[in-house]
Amino acid sequence: MSNTIYIEYNFSVTPLQPGSDILIAELGEVGFESFLENEDGVLAYIQKNDWNENILETVEILDSELFKVSFELKEIEQENWNATWEQNFEAIQVADQCVVRAPFHEKPNVQYDIVIEPKMSFGTGHHETTHMMLQFILENDFEGKDVLDMGSGTGVLAILAAMKHANHIDAIDIDNWCYLNAKENVERNNCEHISVFEGDSSLLGNRKYDIILANINRNILLADISVYADNLKENGTLFLSGFYEEDISLISETCLKAGLKFEKNLQKNNWVAVKYVF
């Protein structure tokens, strides 16, 4: 892993919002796997092995008359990632109960103090979808529950679920770097009841959960909602994010076919997180 080469794109976006959010969503669809937002736009990363010179051809915002987007690109070795994110990573607070911070930040006086070293993984709490999923976890009862964190990234959602006394949590991500990083973060936060796996929904088998958290993207969610429903216990809860407000009707329609009912949604800069009950 230490010799992995990434291509870093430094995007300037005007107007910044919702331009940066749209750009991140579209870049995720073509294979970019990690993002850092800044005051000018977005730093986006893709493994050199997955990159080609035409990678941006289907990124529609680049041709939109509503936004002005420019970029520069360079190669970056993965071992230099820490220096990159430390320059951009600030601690974030969710409500007045939870702080997500790096090891070099001062320890806060909050109920849930989560220490994350994201490296090349997604899910520091800065993105709206992660922030809203953390908010949902804070608002709901996790004590004694069996939980699945699907598309776990850094493992931050699984870690907060553990801090809220979930019985056991499975954290799954298809990306090897996310898998390794989540294992590190789970250990860093002394979470003994989290098992981390590398893979996709095919790993679930007949395992049943009280709560499933899935912060991925619209297309993967639509493909896997029926799988999540099959793996929920009676009266289970499904929390979804990674899509826009205009996608709620399509997501909810698919959930309804799987026996899940819409209960509540949160919204932040056109991104949404939605709660469904079985």
Output the CA–CA distances (angstroms, integers) from residue 39 to 17, 29, 42, 88, 124, in the order listed.
Answer: 11, 23, 8, 10, 17
Q: Is 254 annotated as a binding residue?
A: no
Q: Is 130 a known ligand-binding residue?
A: yes
Structure tokens of 165? 């006394």
Q: How far apart are CA 106 and CA 128, in angstroms?
A: 23
Return the sign of the alpha-carbon dihedral for residues 153, 154, 156, 161: positive
How many CB atoms sit inside 10 A of residue 144's CB? 10
**Residue-wise over 52-86: b if at least 16 C-beta within 10 A, else e?**
eeebbeebebbeeeebebebeeeebebeebeebbe
Report whether 40 belongs to an annotated binding site. no
Is residue 129 part of an annotated ligand binding site?
Answer: no
List binding-site positions for S-adenosyl-L-methionine: 130, 151, 173, 215
Residues tagged in the binding site annotation: 130, 151, 173, 215
